Amino acid sequence: MDKCYDVIIIGAGVVGSAVAREMSRYKGSVLLLEKEHDVACGASGANSGVIHAGFNVPTGSLKARFNVKGAKLLRTIAEELDVPMKFTGKLVVALKGPELAQLKHLKAQGEANGVRGLKIISKDELRRLEPNIEGIAALHSPNSGIICPFTLNIALAENALSNGVDIRLNTEVTRISKREDHFRVFTKKGTFRGRYVINSAGLMADKIAAMVGLKYFRVQPCRGEYFVLDRASSGLLKRMVYPVPPVRGNVLGVHLTPTIDGNILIGPSAELIHDKYDTRTTGPGLGRLLKEAKLLLPALKSPEIITSFSGIRPKLARPTYRGCYDFIVKDEPQVRGFINLAGIESPGLTAAVAIAREIALSLKKKLALKKNGSFKYRREGIVRVRELPLEERASLIRKRKEYGELLCRCEEISKAEIIDALNNPLGVRSMRGIKIRTRAMMGRCQGGFCGPNIIDLLQRKGIDPDEINLRGKNSCMLTGKTK
């Protein structure tokens, strides 16, 4: 008889990976299944990277509870797992009189949710904090922050792996059957047995739930497009700047977000779409973003745009819905042992670890699991040479000369960092895998200069040219010899 896991988690986005990490605090057997070639391939790898303080979500909702708790937990988790994070603060800016009432509402809602330090500031104070921002008043939230969403997802999964979780990438769940005391989870790479199944499949959570007969919710994809500005524009803003959120739509509006690496994101839009895989960006969508962003930041005359991307929200309601559909975090009574973590839209990145901790604690009790005495709570990431003072760089280069060879000049990423990314614990070898682990190819040239250097390095490291791919199978970079 094949092994029966205590817990099988479906989907290695930030939620599934956080559950895997939290479960690895206990002595249970855990399997994390992901259909893509890497983690952070869904919404977890295409968002604003904001640690929300928790004033945008209705009091008493799961969103509010997990948001506020998650933001607190991230302070510790980011430090333990070497994830770049910064509490820059956020401004929600009113452009006209009628929006002032909304600022007061957000402040009161935030305070009821347990958010500290919220203050409504005048036009003068707004100008002092952010001289380039237009507005008549603002809500200032000093405890909002930014985090690298890729590193958070990767770090949670890597730490779970080093604490004994089995992780299978490229393993899509196609069917689930319920037996008396366990589930059989079918994939194209074999069948796995588990006592509990956790559905953290993001946009596909409705499809996974339907596999065990649960059809009470449908995931509605809602695309959000973004522009990315070059780091040269970083002086425009110090903190996140949001408009007063639209009353309809349950979205936060087009905002300006300085990223942890010094770029500025403009977006996201909110567009109801039919195809869950349709991550294209569109001329009209991007045009609207610029128009809306200029209302807040008129200095954005000819922005230094280096790229665009989009992320898809797993909404449970149409964007025109007036209100807030809550997260589904539910041990399903009709299918004993099946747990849905669905509709985890924003603030899901902030909330993920809090959701995971609660789920893991309840499974610890149900499965009577003991503590994992050898739990490693720390993870060391790849050294970020660019952030080090010159003396430290010099000392690193003396120890390993590859630190002195820059393969990506825009982002100042050394050959050593790229080699370390290539040797990542999850065994991901795609160009995107290297990109999200190092930032190589994310700068002004978008890989035009460093891409070929990295391909050359991969070949020198023994990877067959036919196997060099952008994002897993069916995305080969090289098709044959020209000479």
Closest distance to ligand FAD from the beta carbon of 145 (Å):
10
Closest distance to ligand FAD from the beta carbon of 465 (Å):
27
Of the candidate spans 38-46, 378-386, 418-426, 451-459, the one that interacts with ligand FAD by CB under 6 A turns out to be 38-46
Of the candidate spans 158-166, 202-210, 382-390, 408-416, the one that interacts with ligand FAD by CB under 6 A turns out to be 202-210
Of the candidate spans 159-167, 344-352, 365-373, 433-441, the one that interacts with ligand FAD by CB under 6 A turns out to be 344-352
- Contact between 228 and ligand FAD (CB under 6 A)? no
- Positive or negative CA dihedral for 194, 199, 200, 202? positive
Of the candidate spans 33-41, 134-142, 155-163, 369-377, the one that interacts with ligand FAD by CB under 6 A turns out to be 33-41
Closest distance to ligand FAD from the beta carbon of 260 (Å):
12
- Contact between 347 and ligand FAD (CB under 6 A)? yes
Reply yes or no on whether 274 is catalytic: no
Angle at which helices 62-80 and 149-162 cross, to 10°: 70
- Contact between 145 and ligand FAD (CB under 6 A)? no
Per the CB < 8 A criterion, the answer to whether 226 and 313 are in contact is no
- Contact between 343 and ligand FAD (CB under 6 A)? no
Binding to ligand FAD, residues 238-277 (CB under 6 A):
268
Q: Which of 9, 32, 33, 266 binds ligand FAD (CB under 6 A)?
A: 33
Binding to ligand FAD, residues 52-91 (CB under 6 A):
52
Distances from the Cα of 432 to the Cαs of 41, 259, 273, in angstroms?
10, 19, 25
Concatenated DSSP letters of 432-464: HHHHHHH-TT-STTTTTTHHHHHHHHHHHTT--
Please tell me whether the peptide bond between 298 and the residue prior to it is cis, using omega within 30 degrees of 0.
no
CA nearest neighbour of 44 among 19, 23, 64, 24 = 19
- Start-to-end CA distance of the chain, whole Å, equals 54
Whole-angstrom distance, CA of residue 274 vs CA of residue 100: 36
CA nearest neighbour of 224 among 288, 167, 267, 256 = 267
Per the CB < 8 A criterion, the answer to whether 473 and 37 are in contact is yes
Active-site choice (52, 140, 182, 255): 52
Binding to ligand FAD, residues 166-185 (CB under 6 A):
172-173
Residue number, 18 or 94, with CB nearest to ligand FAD: 18
- Contact between 311 and ligand FAD (CB under 6 A)? yes
Of the candidate spans 49-57, 134-142, 258-266, 275-283, the one that interacts with ligand FAD by CB under 6 A turns out to be 49-57
Distances from the Cα of 225 to the Cαs of 126, 229, 251, 254, in angstroms?
27, 14, 13, 10
Closest distance to ligand FAD from the beta carbon of 377 (Å):
21
Largest separation between any pair of C-alpha atoms in the chain = 71
Closest distance to ligand FAD from the beta carbon of 20 (Å):
11
**Site size with ligand FAD, rule: CB under 6 A:** 40
- Contact between 202 and ligand FAD (CB under 6 A)? yes
Closest distance to ligand FAD from the beta carbon of 416 (Å):
29
Per the CB < 8 A criterion, the answer to whether 377 and 156 are in contact is no
Whole-angstrom distance, CA of residue 86 vs CA of residue 112: 25
Determine how many CB atoms are found less than 10 A away from the CB of residue 480: 6
Q: Which residues bind ligand FAD (CB under 6 A)?
A: 10-16, 33-36, 41-44, 47-50, 52, 172-173, 200-204, 208, 224, 268, 311-313, 344-350
The residues carrying an active-site annotation are 52
